[in-house]
Amino acid sequence: MSGVSTVVMTNDPLDPEEAPMWMNGAQTNGEFRSVIRLDRLVRDWSEPWQDLDRQGYRVENGGSASSIKEIRRFLADWCKRMQPVYMAVSLPDSFHFPDDSVRGKIFREAVLPACREFNLPLSLMIGVRRQVNPKIRLAGDAVGRADLTALANLCRDFPENRFLVSVLSRENQHELCVYARKFNNLLPFGCWWFLNNPSIVEEITRERIEMLGMSFVPQHSDARVLEQLIYKWHNTRRTLEHILTQSYQLLIADGRAVTPLDIQNDLGRLFHSNFERWTGVLTGSRSTR
């Protein structure tokens, strides 16, 4: 019903409900693929090091060189176990890089090298302002404008890493497009969370087409339950139909012919081949992930 051939689900190997499934031998298949979620690992090392220690990795709270080596081993074990499409982490609006904290060291000396070793992109979702209203618990997070200098530093200092990036603040969208023009290891994707409003989706998608052509991924499912795929991709197609029609009309008015093959190629790039090339994963011609 949603027209999606492949879905990609993020799983955190430190999540007490998700990890046992993989430890018991869960397998991926062509329609359902996995992603290693790193939120617990990089958010606050004072807690996850104990989880790694219980799993048999010799780590300690200080983030020593031996701990970094063991974190690398942890990531390698989970890459082999999950066969992920990429690694992913949600980051606060206060995220900065370089960072001399333990978190920054884990990011620089464990996560980025592991992505290179296994040829995996790193998905960065930047801009969460956590628990602005703790009374409503999981619903208490909000949005903050980030300093994307951190992203530019990552792209410049680690050219062999590929970054798949979505930013949560509307005010960060233009800057993200500018950096995507400057760094060929950066691919913008999706209209995430609070941005999934038709008027904002249209604005962001127009901006990306004007600045990047078809070199981005227009949307991602970001679904809490599988059925959300249906309305989200229906709305995405409807919005893109309107935007692309106007773009082609402007090209024709300026004297540039637009053929059915041009349209087919553009849609193929936006809905599957950009993602396939970036991740090295074939998702199928009907995929909209």
DSSP letter (8 states) at residue 90: E
* Rounded distance between C-alpha atoms, residue 5 and residue 221, angstroms: 12
Note the pLDDT of residue 286.
41
pTM (whole model) above 0.85:
yes
CB within 8 Å of 211: residues ≥ 6 apart: 174, 177, 178, 180, 181
- pLDDT digit string (tens) for the chain, length 289 residues: 999 888 888 999 999 898 999 989 887 777 889 999 999 999 888 889 999 998 899 999 888 999 999 999 999 999 999 999 999 999 999 999 999 999 999 999 999 999 999 999 999 999 999 999 999 998 999 999 999 999 999 999 999 999 999 999 999 999 999 999 999 999 999 999 999 999 999 999 999 999 999 999 999 988 888 899 999 999 999 999 999 999 999 999 999 999 999 999 999 999 999 999 999 876 554 433 3
Closest to 71 in 3D by CA, of 118, 38, 100: 38
Which candidate, 128, 131, 43, 42, places its Cα nearest to that of 93?
Answer: 128
Of 203, 223, 219, 220, the residue nearest 211 (C-alpha)? 203
Q: Mind listing the domains of the chain with CATH numbers?
A: 7-279 (3.20.20.140)
Tell me, what's the pLDDT at 282?
A: 65
> What is the spatial distance between Cα 159 and Cα 105, in angstroms, rounded to a whole number?
18
201-218 confidence digits (pLDDT tens)? 999 999 999 999 999 999
pLDDT of residue 283: 56
Cβ contacts of 202 within 8 Å, gap of 6 or more: 239, 242, 243
Distances in Å between the Cα of 229 and the Cα atoms of 6, 9, 232 are 11, 12, 5
Instruction: Please answer whether residues 187 and 165 qualify as being in contact, where contact means their C-beta atoms are separated by less than 8 angstroms.
Output: yes
* Coil, strand or helix at 186: strand
Q: What is the pLDDT of residue 43?
A: 84
